[in-house]
Structure formats: structure tokens, C-alpha cells
Amino acid sequence: MRLQNKIAIVTGAASGFGAEIARTFVTEGARVVIADINESAARDLASELGDLAMGLKCDVSSATEVSELVSQTCTLFGDPDIIVNNAGITHKNGPMLDVDEDTFDWIFNVNVKAIFHMSKAVIPIMRRRRSGVILNVGSVAGIRPRPGLTWYNASKGAVNVLSKSMAAELGPDNIRVNAICPVLGVTGLLEAFMGAPDTPENRARFLATIPLGRLAEGRDVANAALFLASDEADFITGLEMPVDGGRSV
């Protein structure tokens, strides 16, 4: 029970990496708020996980909804110890000039500005308590970008760098901040990332770029999050942790 009695908020947690993080945190004793724009899916997962989980609707691009999420968490579970900013979106893999302005704004609102909103809502609470862990899910795309996802890469590069800056600024408050940087995984965004149908041939071309020869799985990201959220990592902050099978080498 490495997170016994901890309270966590995981955004984008109704599916994909976020859902596996939520499952792992509950297994390790944390009370977890599963926050997602898909309220019914969030509540379904919370029901599956039992009394230690609660599903709440939240559009992370909205300052009002993020503030309300944190307020509800404090009321129903208590002050959050751990925040996992996992919610994310991408544009379809393709030429950078094919992405329109609305899509660009949407990507940065969900991937980057959401962390701004969450920071405004939760850091004052953590500062009062002089403790807290913030995990931002960046991407290997922000470390070793490749053509086709230029604006997504830029958003995740921002996440990776702001995590380091947050760590430097919040360290004196005993608030740790780290970035987890996965490679492509089998999630609902797989085909958008690939820019092609998920056929064995297309997947094989991508797998050839990963030394360990497979895509990221939910357990890979969840295990990284568990370690960084636990007291075992209490002297680790400002880390940009690739979870990528060697893709960024």
C-alpha cells in the first residue's frame, strides 16, 4: 500500500493511460478522483474500482470546471496530495500547415493551459500543507520530435519544460513536480498519432523505431506514476522520465 491514505486527482482518467493510473493508485491504497470530460465513463470506472474512487466530469480546458473539481475533491475526499495532469489530445499526423487555428488552440488548451488552471486551483492548498506531488504527462514527442505531429510535439515540449520550471519554483514548498513521457500506446488516439489505419503493417513500421519492440502499455505509465507519487521518490523532482522502450535514445 504505497499510497495508503493519499488523495489523488487523475485527469483524463476514464480510459487509456489515465484509467490504468487510477486503477493502480486505488490498488495501492489511494482515494482517487477520476476526472474526465466523459462523465458516464468516469463514473463507470469509479463504480468498478469501489469506494476509494469517485468519478467527476471536468473539461480541463475550463478554469471554472477545474476549480470546481478541486473544490469537490476537498469536500468529498479531502485535500489532494497527488495531481496527475494526464488529459491530452492530438491532431492527426500530417503536414503542419494542414492544422487549422481552432485545432491548434484546442491542443494547447487541453495539453498545456489545463496545467495552468490546475496549478492555480491546487498549489495554494499544497503550499498551506507544505506537501504535494504533481505529475504532468508529457511525451517522448517533446524530447525527440518527428515530422507529422509538429503542434502536438510543441505542446508536449511545453509540458516537459514547464514541469522542470515548476519543480524549481515549488521545491521550497516541498511540492515535487515531475513529467512522465510515454511513447505511443494503444489508446483511443493511436490512429491519429500514426496518421494511418492501425494495420499490422503500419504498426510494424512504428515498432521498428522502438528498441524494446512494443508500444507503451497502461501498466508502464501507471508504474512510473506510482513510483513518482510515492514516498520512495521523495527526493526526485524536475525529472523528465521517458517511458518509451528506448525510443528517445
Catalytic residues: 152
Cβ pair 244, 210 in contact under 8 A = yes
Which of 113, 18, 101 has the alpha carbon at shortest distance from 63? Answer: 113
Tell me the three cell numbers of residue 110. 487541453
C-alpha grid cell for residue 166?
Answer: 515548476
Q: Which residues pair with 240 in a beta bridge?
A: 179
Q: How far is CA 210 from the centre of its chain?
A: 21
Contacts of 81 (CB under 8 A, 6+ apart): 6, 7, 8, 131, 132, 133
Measured from the Cβ of residue 120, the count of other Cβ atoms closer than 10 Å reads: 13
Under a CB-based contact definition with an 8 Å cutoff, are residues 189 and 90 in contact?
yes
45 backbone dihedrals φ, ψ, rounded to 5°: -65, -40
Cell output for 119: 496549478
Provide the angle, in degrees to the nearest 10, between the axes of the packed helices 114-129 and 63-76: 30
The answer to whether residues 136 and 163 touch, using CB atoms and an 8 Å cutoff, is yes
> Most distant CA pair in the chain: distance in Å?
53
